[in-house]
């Protein structure tokens, strides 16, 4: 008997190839403000951006703050005198146009949607997440997308999952599976809420000892073998 009714996927690094898109969008954004892009800028940006999103997960700042702050810090770090707001706007526009997927994501979702309803739960920004989903081949497989910037809460907060489950019609927690690559935001958030969690771990990082999870996969295609 089929256990799950809903499969909840993280977006960045789980369905969308965010690392690849991030580098492309950043280079394009610098070009639009007339600044020559140095490949080293990407590593600096990723370090600053990651720290800010970790602060979002801790509830210390909102996703909206990240939009500009990360570019203020980046421009300061690389010694470039330019508008953080302009760079941010260009970056978000370019990133929204980058809809490259993780390997097998489209085929896996197409197979799974025959038996399950699928939603995306993301801590990303509205203009990026909705823009690239609209351009993506997986658009028709997704029943809903819940975005932290839109609802005012971010994973792993209980309130984020409260809103998400309400949007999906209050399914039984036993009928829901969260799938994501983020240990804190996706996995811990889901388990603490009472939802089964599947950790997508393509890099095969060491698994933390807590919390206990339902499954670990290194390839999205493993979901078909397991859930079908």
Hey, which residues are catalytic here?
10
Secondary structure (3-state) at 7: strand
As a whole number of angstroms, the longest Cα–Cα distance in the chain is 61
Query: Could you count the other beta carbons within 10 Å of the beta carbon of residue 209?
Result: 6
From residue 76, alpha-carbon distances to 40, 45, 69 in Å are 14, 11, 11
Distance CA 98, CA 184 (A): 25
In residues, how long is the chain?
A: 228
Quick one: CA dihedral 168, 172, 177, 181, positive or negative?
Answer: positive
Query: Measuring CA to CA, how many Å separate 66 from each of 14, 56, 69, 91, 120?
Result: 21, 8, 5, 13, 21
DSSP 3-state percent helix, strand, coil across the chain (nearest 5): 50, 15, 35
Q: How far apart are CA 91 and CA 66, in angstroms?
A: 13
Separation between Cα atoms, residue 219 and residue 171, nearest integer Å: 27
Strands (E), 129-180: 144-147, 176-180
């Amino acid at each position: 008997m089929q256990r799950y009714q809903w499969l909840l996927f993280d977006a960045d690094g789980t369905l969308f190839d965010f690392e690849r898109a991030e580098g492309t969008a950043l280079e394009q954004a610098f070009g639009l403000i007339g600044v020559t892009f140095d490949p080293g800028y990407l590593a600096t940006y990723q370090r600053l951006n990651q720290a800010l999103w970790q602060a979002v997960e801790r509830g210390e700042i909102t996703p909206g703050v990240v939009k500009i702050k990360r570019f203020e810090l980046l421009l300061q770090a690389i010694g470039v005198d330019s508008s953080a707001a302009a760079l941010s706007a260009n970056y978000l526009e370019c990133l929204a146009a980058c809809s490259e997927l993780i390997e097998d994501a489209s085929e896996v979702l197409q197979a799974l949607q025959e038996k399950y309803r699928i939603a995306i739960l993301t801590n990303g920004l509205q203009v990026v997440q909705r823009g690239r989903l609209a351009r993506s081949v997986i658009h028709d497989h997704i029943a809903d997308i819940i975005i932290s910037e839109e609802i005012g809460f971010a994973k792993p907060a209980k309130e984020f999952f409260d809103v998400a489950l309400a949007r999906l019609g209050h399914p039984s927690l036993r009928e829901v599976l969260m799938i994501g690559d983020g240990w804190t935001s996706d996995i811990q958030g889901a388990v603490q809420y009472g939802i089964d969690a599947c950790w997508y771990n393509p890099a095969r990082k060491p698994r933390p000892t807590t919390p206990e999870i339902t499954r670990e996969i290194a390839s999205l295609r493993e979901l078909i073998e397991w859930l079908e």
